[in-house]
Amino acid sequence: MRVTIFGTGYVGLVTGTCLAEVGHDVVCVDIDAAKVDGLARGVVPIYEPGLAPMVKANHAAGRLHFTTDAARAVAHGDVVFIAVGTPPDDDGSADLQYVLAVARTIGQHLARPVVVVDKSTVPVGTADKVRTTIATTLAERGADIAFDVVSNPEFLKEGAAVEDCMRPDRIVIGADNPAAVEKLRRLYAPFNRNHDRIVAMDVRSAELTKYAANAMLATKISFMNEIANIAEKVGADIEMVRHGIGSDPRIGWHFIYPGAGYGGSCFPKDVQALAKTAQQHDYEARLLNAVEAVNDAQKGHLFELVQRHYDAGEDEGVRGRTFAVWGLAFKPDTDDMREASSRRLLQQLWDAGARVRAYDPEARHEAARVFGERPDLVLCDSAGAALEGADALIVVTEWKQFRSPDFAALHAALGDAVVFDGRNLYDPAEVEAAGLAYYGIGRGRSI
Ligand code: NAD
């Protein structure tokens, strides 16, 4: 099938590449000419396990094309995906300007019937706006061409995006026209062989499904962070509690890890956008607002532990100290730092007069872009290099390579012999036995 994808970010590029991988003829279009140029030369602008070789192979095989030429792109596809960003507006609602700009572009160039697929995460009612925008633009041209607008939200996880796209748990298709559902069934047939993963529904339910999924996951995280904070107050170990509740199949093991707060380009903005949608429909989403508030506070929690430790000591607090920070990406296996907890932490450390030596396996370039050159930041090439001359270690992202450090070497390296473990990776007793003070989230000296 001939497929066009507007937007070559995490979602558009991965979707386009996976569709090409199963034999579809895909054109990816983006307004970012540098990105398109790079992709056409085999330079993949994001880190996603397995993505770069797949992009290159499918590009070389002639099934995956990159362009800035929107007219050519619209002419190509039988199915046209919208996979552009929906960042938060000032009031927390989703900013639809990019989605609606693509809708106008489609209306300007459309010459034959297509199915337009909304893959961006968009508030309920957006498919109607996309349909109206395309219809109005067609009418301005005096053109009368049939088209469908379908909601097909994306559930891939950054860090496992290719795997998720090739083996989806479910494929949600929201459509009013059965013929459009049938077309997407054919498009996704190669991903749907083992058993039927397609969940067809009406457009509005599909739009809400995406927000409900992210809001549920964010709620689990904020819930566990809240229990961890209570554990700190009452002297309980949150990891014991986690094991105690995860074994209940009604609760389950997934997404019950306390930590330094959720980040990324989806949970924070989607929880806020859903709350905003509710408000626009005269409903106050009290739970969603609390999920967001708990997360916002949690992003400052690691720094509170740092302050608590240093204010209790005889020296003059955090000012003048050097902190090794392991992990800058918002989660492992990605270079994405959008809304990452590390950003809040580093700013708090700098505001308090501390210096940072940071290491992230993949986000170094992104960190250089985000923070720029500054005297109180050294971006290091290895976890060991970050420890050189550091007083304390703060673990922010749970990359696998941080899981089993040599604690004796840590003790030798760290001037103040203290570890702040923002992801509860380590056994407090083992760390303390090596002569290091250990602070976790809801465990260790935090409690
Ligand atoms: P992104 O910011 O990585 O990429 C968006 C791309 O769209 C950019 O390359 C930008 O240049 C391009 N673009 C903007 N306007 C354009 C236009 N008029 N024509 C062509 N290209 C244009 O965004 P993303 O992370 O891929 O997210 C895209 C959407 O998917 C968002 O709505 C997001 O909420 C949703 N989503 C993201 C994820 C994720 O993990 N990143 C997962 C599921 C859903």
pTM of this prediction? 0.95
Domains and CATH numbers, the chain: 2-201 (3.40.50.720), 202-447 (3.40.50.720)
Cβ of 39 closer than 6 Å to ligand 1, yes or no, is no
Q: Report how far ligand 1's centroid is from the alpha carbon of 269 (Å).
A: 13
Q: How confident is the model at residue 315 (pLDDT cuts 50, 70, 90)?
A: low
Q: Report how far ligand 1's centroid is from the alpha carbon of 298 (Å).
A: 27
Cβ of 213 closer than 6 Å to ligand 1, yes or no, is no
- State the average pLDDT over residues 6-23: 98
Q: Report how far ligand 1's centroid is from the alpha carbon of 265 (Å).
A: 10
Specify the amino acid at residue 121.
T
Cβ of 101 closer than 6 Å to ligand 1, yes or no, is yes
**Nearest residue CA, atom 38 of ligand 1?**
11
Can you say whether residue 282 is alpha, beta or left, with left for phi > 0 and alpha for psi between -120 and 50 degrees? left
Going by C-alpha positions, the residue among 55, 81, 67, 80 that lies closest to residue 31 is 67
Question: What is the number of residues in the chain?
Answer: 447
First to last CA, the chain: 58
Atom of ligand 1 nearest to the CA of 94: 32
In angstroms, the CA 362 to CA 399 distance is 10
SS3 158: coil
Backbone angles phi, psi at 437, to 5 degrees: -75, 135
- 266 catalytic, yes or no? yes
Q: Report how far ligand 1's centroid is from the alpha carbon of 2 (Å).
A: 21
**pLDDT value at residue 313:** 74
pLDDT digits (tens, 9 = 90+) for 352-398: 999 999 999 999 999 999 999 999 999 999 999 999 999 999 999 99
The answer to whether the beta carbons of residues 13 and 21 sit under 8 Å apart is: no
In angstroms, the CA 300 to CA 268 distance is 15
Tokens for 445? 């000296």
Tokens for 296? 């916002």
The answer to whether the beta carbons of residues 423 and 305 sit under 8 Å apart is: no
pLDDT digits (tens, 9 = 90+) for 214-271: 999 999 999 999 999 999 999 999 999 999 999 999 999 999 999 999 999 999 999 9
**pLDDT value at residue 447:** 87
Edge-to-edge strand ranges of the sheet holding 198-201: 64-67, 25-29, 2-6, 79-82, 114-118, 147-151, 171-174, 198-201
Atom of ligand 1 nearest to the CA of 98: 15
Cβ of 102 closer than 6 Å to ligand 1, yes or no, is yes
Which DSSP symbol is given to 404?
Answer: S
What interface predicted TM-score (ipTM) does this complex get?
0.99
Backbone angles phi, psi at 188, to 5 degrees: -90, 0
Cβ of 118 closer than 6 Å to ligand 1, yes or no, is no
Q: Report how far ligand 1's centroid is from the alpha carbon of 447 (Å).
A: 41
Residues 368-373: contacts with CB within 8 Å, 24+ apart? 370/337, 370/343, 371/346
Cβ of 15 closer than 6 Å to ligand 1, yes or no, is no
CB environment 99-122: b (16+ within 10 A), e (fewer): bbebbebbbbbbeeebbbbbbbbb
